[in-house]
Amino acid sequence: MNKKNETTIEKIENGRAAFAFREVKEYIEKNGQSSKFRSYIKKMPAMIQVNGLGQTLAFYYSNHSKEKEYGDIYNIIGKWCSIQLSGLINSEDEFVEQVINLNSKSYKVVTVETLSLLNWMRRFADGMIRTQD
């Protein structure tokens, strides 16, 4: 890997981290400490690995009216993907619909990007949201 590629990868990772930090912080400022938000972020990567991204997004989408945290996480991921993967995902159409209609190569790209974002969101949620011991 040459120096230029490392710089590009570092920029993407730093941008992902900054976005995750801002979104988690903004969520807490608007909604207060939410152990559900933290828990649903932590559970999502395992759900994606077991069920696939499409089914997991469908679950979060369908449960957003019961528990706001599901919808908030879904929206954060959709927002990031529409920014980072603008050639695959746009902000006008429903995120889950776009994902389930992707070809397998693009589906994998969106899955990897989502898991990478969730890794940062989990770290920041763990650090910012206090748990009751």
Could you give the CA distance from residue 36 to residue 64 in angstroms, rounded to a whole number? 12
Q: What domains are there in the chain, each with its CATH number?
A: 9-128 (1.10.520.30)
The pLDDT profile of the chain, 133 residues, written as one tens digit per residue, is 555 666 777 888 888 999 999 999 999 999 887 789 999 999 999 999 999 999 999 999 999 999 999 999 999 999 999 999 999 999 889 999 999 999 999 999 999 999 999 999 999 998 888 765 4
Residue for token digits 């006008």? Answer: 92
Structure token pair of residue 49 = 């690995």
Q: Does an H or E element contain 33, and which? A: none
| pTM metric for this prediction | 0.88
